[in-house]
Chains A and B, each alone.
Chain A
Amino acid sequence: MKLRLAIPVATAALALAALAFVVPAMAADTPDPVADAKAFQKYFTDKFPKLKPQDFVNGPYSMNEDLHKQWEEKEEFPPYEFALEAGKEMFATPFKNGKSYGDCFPDKGIGIRQNYPYFDEKEGKVVTLELALNRCREANGETPLSYVRDEMASLTAYMAFTSRGKPMNITIPNDPRALAAYENGKRYFYTRRGQLNFSCASCHVQSPGERIRAEILAPALGILNAMPIYRSEWSGMGTTSRRFVTCNSQTRAVPLEPQSDEYRDLEYYLSYVSNGLPISGPGARP
């Protein structure tokens, strides 16, 4: 008899306990980007107490002394110089209709890299710099550039170069769709996928500074501030799109189309949590 009574009492207690858990869990589920970014940055500064926040934008070079020495030498004669020059030329060259890239952007496109990607309230979606550049081309009757090739990287290299040192400044407008895009990007970042079952975070949050084969993993904090990058491994320039696509295929997942909604949201999330860190692009990576 006593036992029979005990069971419902225990169940009720369990139910109560479950309820007590549900309430704070729900509160924590409400997206709070400001707290997210703070916690995200704190995680990295705690993990690497010797580094200053602005060191993170130099990726693996801040994590390994030997690499740092190589990099200092490399920066005297940076391998992205040719792309930078090509980008400057492309940026200044007018389209067939006489307009140029500068006409599509605020401040003629100079020193604005830190504001991208932004949430476009008219479209209800995230607009990245690469996307904006191709839209600019199409609006002026030109064919869009490939998102993963050198021409696009040259353009963004030039735009990043004119914005060097400016703190990343991504805003989330008071629009539920903007918050949803941010959340979606965050979800993509932390979701495991592919044959190797890696999420973006497995490498770039859990293991920055560690080796993956011969390479040193870069921290997620500030990783986009250095885009686009010259990768010695690629013998060429890489855009943010190219970086995302290759990351996915390296974990043996199926990459998405460059500038698909999810990649745009991912870029939005990843840039937002690096707010305040300086733009250092174009970068050079091993």
Chain B
Amino acid sequence: MSVIGECLVAFLFGSIVGLLVQRSRFCNTAALRDAILFKTYRNTKALLVAMMILTIGFTGFMTIGEGKPMRFDVGLNQIVGLFLFGIGMVLAGACTVSTWVKAGEGNFGAVWALLFTFIGMFLFSLFWSFLYWPPAPEAMTGNFNLETLQLGYANAETLQESTGIPAIVFGLIQFFVLYVIFRKIQQKEANPKTVTS
């Protein structure tokens, strides 16, 4: 596909996401924060359903060698980075999706959060240029590397290659785990603890 074609497809997809997120008030931050703080799961259930659909879709296509999965080494930096991100999104009151959507609604707080996300990225680029860690994706080998705290690379595709079991089988296992969590939440909502005086 041409560069313009890729950009048009991406813009169309983003527009659908923006419209649906705006109309549904979905927010990834709320999916985690509300479950932790208020024990409400409106957004958490939506997140789980999307993950179930995607798990079947992605692993199904990966089984027959279709799709474009992400390929780069992972390691300690994913845990630390998303830990910082998790704190940040709760403090900012929005995730990467809802900042754009709320900005589109005229929310200046979201614009301010976006501005400082960009500034944070630029500050990190200065820090990276001094440390060169984590390594650039081009320099990653796909293998365990203790020196750079990288564990290598593994996904449904590599599982299929190393075990000979179709990727969709592993996808179905993950689907089942996500479904169990979803059902537990539904049961919790159906049987809230009654307060007796």
Bound pair: A and B?
no
Q: Which of B's residues lie within 8 Å of A, judged by CB?
A: none
Q: Which of A's residues lie within 8 Å of B, judged by CB?
A: none
